[in-house]
Amino acid sequence: MEKRLELLAPAGSFESLKAAVHAGADAVYMGGSRFGARAYADNPEGEALLQAIDYAHLYGVKLYLTVNTLLKEQELEQELYEYLLPCCERGLDAVIVQDLGVLQAVREWFPELPVHASTQMTLCGTGGARILKEAGAQRIVLARELSLPEIARIHEDTGMEIECFVHGALCYCYSGQCLFSSILGGRSGNRGRCAQPCRLTYEALSEQGPVTRKGPEPLLSPKDICTIDLLPKIARAGVYSLKIEGRMKRPEYTAGVVRIYRKYVDWYLQYGGDGYRVLEEDKKELLLLFNRDGFSRGYYEKHNGRELMALAAQKPDRQEKKAYEVLTAGLRRDYVEKEKKIPVTGTLYAEAGQPMRLKIKAGPCVTVYGDSPQTPKNRPMDPEQLYRQMNKTGGTPFIWKELKIRMEGPLFIPVQALNQLRREGFSKLQEEILGASRRNGPGCGATFKESASAGADSGRQTYVPSWKNGAELHVSVETPEQLGEVLSRAEDLRAGNIPLLCAVYIDAESMEEDLEEQIGLIHEKHLKAYVMLPVVFRMKTAERYEKEKDRWALLPAEGCVIRNLEEYTFLKEIGWKGEIILDHNVYTFNRRSRAFWREKGIRGMTSPLELNRRELSEISDRDSIQIIYGRYPMMVTAGCIHRTLGQCRQKPELWMLKDRYQKEFPVKNCCRDCYNIIYNSQPLYLADLMDELPGPVAGAYRVMFTTERREEVRRVLMDLAGQRKRDRDFTRGHFKRGVE
């Protein structure tokens, strides 16, 4: 094999870390007390986290720290450095990040510390991988929705180190694109506090009535994945790190899953893919450890479908519970409670009148010296006595694989002197092993003062956007009907005290065939036209766009609105000369992330939806675009409710999901590129709070139409023109409350 595979295990606690190490993991990923995507795991903090790094390194296992959440300005500039510095010095092997601002800061502060780009970055293609490679990411954790051919393409085009999930729970939403938990309960998945509303039951409604015949079902709850049968294919696609999900699971789960995957990874590494097969008893053991209505193979070979979903929500019977208890008891005994020992070889040299010398080897080799043996007055010690005394390893992590005794002449050595020599030898060996990974000096934090101040001041005065003469009003639409109503009301939106209507965004996903015509209609009203590219830009979409790259390069719009990293690269590679605006889901939670995009020529950034008024004011600038109306997209998912329920007609429709509180969430199926968008039951409305918006530093305000029919569009525009409070259901989103 060209390169050894890495088996990467979850560690939600120190016990889980031990279980993963003892069961054969090559690396573990673990959160500390801050900034991790599993805030409710039993994450270590302070000295305990440093001890976890030492523990992993002692056994030759790497430890990656999760900082895979979006960081607010104060957290990034005033807290992150002090949090990471001791970990970097201790020898942390990598930090996993979601936030581009965090990535930039870590590369500046800790240039020797590798950075892995989290799956929370929704990385779906070569273009995104290239951006992250240029930004300094050593490894990319791909979106879990990608197929084997897509993974292979990214590997072939970039040569980057790739990590993919191979076992455990799946999110229904593309990771990093979910606001469901955030909006419903204030617990943000982007901040590590997801409450998992996807595991609840919902009823699907079409315009004709209920689609779910059995009542509410867990329509958003995928089965856990198990890819043990696919390991050779995954490896051949270019995946280096095989990631097991489960930081919220028990240590016994970690031990059991790692043990079995270790067995088959080693089999593949030794024999290759020919004749590779998995024993049924091992599959049954994985099922017993945890499953949701069985397993699926995830998205590696299938885009979506009912067989990926855990619709039955079956509970284990008494026999299965008993078997589970027996299995986990054994795993706890063998991998959690039992201490793993490191085999060492050594030689004790003892001669009268000369200091004793103990040489120990376990990779590193150390030598320690002790007291001089005495000439015995009575009976001398024999080699067997010395061996028995020195062979005790007590509470150390070591065990003698081989111990030689070299004695010269009759000797007497006090037991205390032998014990002291052995303790010093093992202590020095442990220090030698751990010292190899320690860091200090310029590569680990010495540049903080300079880089931190640069990041904090990165640019409220450095950017002059195209709308420099005052705040503008932008309106985005997703249907020709919405566009027609907006254009018919254009004059009303150029009067009164509201910002002047200057631009209209049109949706490429739903209006691709007629973009030039729609752009012409916008220009007839003397407005700027922007085209919103698809929310997800995977290989199928990229190939379609590439075939018409001349059309896209010459599109007569003033700009494009991008929703992912891949679209930025596409536009640059085709020579796009217009403006590029970031939508709200290309996150700019802090000034460093905003500075990153300004350096790439971005002309406008739609403000994140999870920051409150005060937090927005800290980062907003004249290139900021603040949404003041619109339904939040709660989920963007490769799963399709139509397909799950056997109703796929490959035709865009608007369905509803009804929850247990009878709230209805619109669901739009985007068939051209095969993904669903689930919207909030209530639209955001801030038009009557214009005085409270970050006006002094915001360049534009945006009204976002998604699922509205013509009459609703008209009503919203009339309310906006009069700056009236909405008389129908609405939400203030996170504008006042924010997220933790």
pLDDT tens digits, one per residue of 607-655: 999 999 889 988 988 899 999 999 999 999 999 999 999 999 888 899 9
Domain extent for 379: 342-435
Strand partners, 507: 532
Res 18: pLDDT: 96
Res 441: pLDDT: 63
Residue 457 has pLDDT above 60, yes or no: no
pLDDT band at 49 (very low <50, low <70, confident <90, very high): very high
Q: Residue 372 burial by CB count (10 A; 0-12/13-18/19+): exposed, middle or buried?
A: middle
The secondary structure of 12-71 as a DSSP string is SSHHHHHHHHHHT-SEEEEE-SSS-S-TTS----THHHHHHHHHHHHTT-EEEEEE-S--
Query: What is the tally of helices (H) and strands (E) in the chain?
Result: 25, 29
Res 450: pLDDT: 45
Position of tokens 């606001």? 179
Question: Is residue 730, in this structure, part of any structural domain at all?
Answer: no
Question: Is residue 308, in this structure, part of any structural domain at all?
Answer: yes
Instruction: For residues 608 and 678, state if they share a domain.
Output: no
Asked which of 377, 403, 435 is the last residue of a domain, the reply is 435
Res 464: pLDDT: 44
Instruction: For residues 165 and 149, state if they share a domain.
Output: yes
Q: What percent of the chain has pLDDT over 70?
A: 93
Res 720: pLDDT: 85
Is the Cβ–Cβ distance between 174 and 638 less than 8 Å? yes
Instruction: For residues 139 and 269, state if they share a domain.
Output: yes
Taking residue 351's Cβ as centre, other Cβ atoms within 10 Å add up to: 15
Strand partners, 368: 358
Instruction: For residues 469 and 359, state if they share a domain.
Output: no
Res 471: pLDDT: 80
Question: What is the tally of structural domains in the chain?
Answer: 4
pLDDT tens digits, one per residue of 235-260: 999 999 999 999 889 999 999 999 99
Instruction: For residues 17 and 125, state if they share a domain.
Output: yes
Spatial CB neighbours of 526, under 8 Å, sequence gap ≥ 6 = none
The secondary structure of 117-158 as a DSSP string is E-GGG---SHHHHHHHHHHT-SEEE--TT--HHHHHHHHHHH
Q: What percent of the chain has pLDDT over 90?
A: 77
Res 370: pLDDT: 95
Is the Cβ–Cβ distance between 702 and 474 less than 8 Å? yes
- Give the residue with greater pLDDT, 722 vs 536: 536
pLDDT tens digits, one per residue of 5-29: 999 999 999 999 999 999 999 999 9
Instruction: For residues 417 and 330, state if they share a domain.
Output: no
**Whole-number Å distance between alpha carbons of 211 and 8:** 41
pLDDT tens digits, one per residue of 525-556: 999 999 999 999 999 999 999 999 999 999 99
**Whole-number Å distance between alpha carbons of 431 and 103:** 31
Cα end-to-end distance, the chain, whole Å: 46
Residues 681-685 have a mean pLDDT of: 94
Question: Is residue 67, in this structure, part of any structural domain at all?
Answer: yes
Our measurement of the distance from residue 294's CA atom to the centroid of its chain's CA atoms, rounded to an integer in Å, reads 25
pLDDT tens digits, one per residue of 410-450: 899 999 999 999 999 999 999 999 999 998 865 666 555 44
Question: Is residue 376, in this structure, part of any structural domain at all?
Answer: yes
Is the Cβ–Cβ distance between 474 and 703 less than 8 Å? yes
Instruction: For residues 621 and 639, state if they share a domain.
Output: no
Asked which of 383, 401, 435 is the last residue of a domain, the reply is 435
Residues 594-607 have a mean pLDDT of: 96
Res 344: pLDDT: 96
pLDDT tens digits, one per residue of 158-181: 999 999 999 999 999 999 999 999
Res 445: pLDDT: 62
CATH number of the domain residue 308 falls in? 3.20.20.70
Question: Is residue 734, in this structure, part of any structural domain at all?
Answer: no
Is the Cβ–Cβ distance between 165 and 246 less than 8 Å? no
Question: Is residue 319, in this structure, part of any structural domain at all?
Answer: yes
Instruction: For residues 466 and 548, state if they share a domain.
Output: yes
Phi, psi of 119 (to 5 degrees): -60, -20
Question: Is residue 415, in this structure, part of any structural domain at all?
Answer: yes
Is the Cβ–Cβ distance between 156 and 258 less than 8 Å? no
Instruction: For residues 622 and 563, state if they share a domain.
Output: yes
pLDDT tens digits, one per residue of 368-402: 999 999 888 888 888 898 899 999 988 899 999 99
Instruction: For residues 398 and 281, state if they share a domain.
Output: no
Res 448: pLDDT: 54
Res 39: pLDDT: 57
Is the Cβ–Cβ distance between 292 and 307 less than 8 Å? no
Res 463: pLDDT: 44
Structure tokens at 107: 């590369």
Question: Is residue 108, in this structure, part of any structural domain at all?
Answer: yes
Is the Cβ–Cβ distance between 168 and 261 less than 8 Å? no
Res 453: pLDDT: 40
Res 42: pLDDT: 63
Of 30-44, 69-83, 202-216, 507-521, minimum mean pLDDT range = 30-44
Instruction: For residues 200 and 318, state if they share a domain.
Output: no
Residue 494 has pLDDT above 80, yes or no: no
Residues 203-229 have a mean pLDDT of: 92
Residues 262-266 have a mean pLDDT of: 97
Distances (CA, A) of 577 to 565, 570, 580: 18, 12, 9
pTM for this entry: 0.93
Structure tokens at 400: 């003698």
Chain length of the chain: 740
Phi, psi of 32 (to 5 degrees): -95, -155
Over the chain, what is the mean pLDDT?
91
Residue 127 has pLDDT above 70, yes or no: yes
Instruction: For residues 495 and 537, state if they share a domain.
Output: yes
Asked which of 403, 435, 467 is the last residue of a domain, the reply is 435
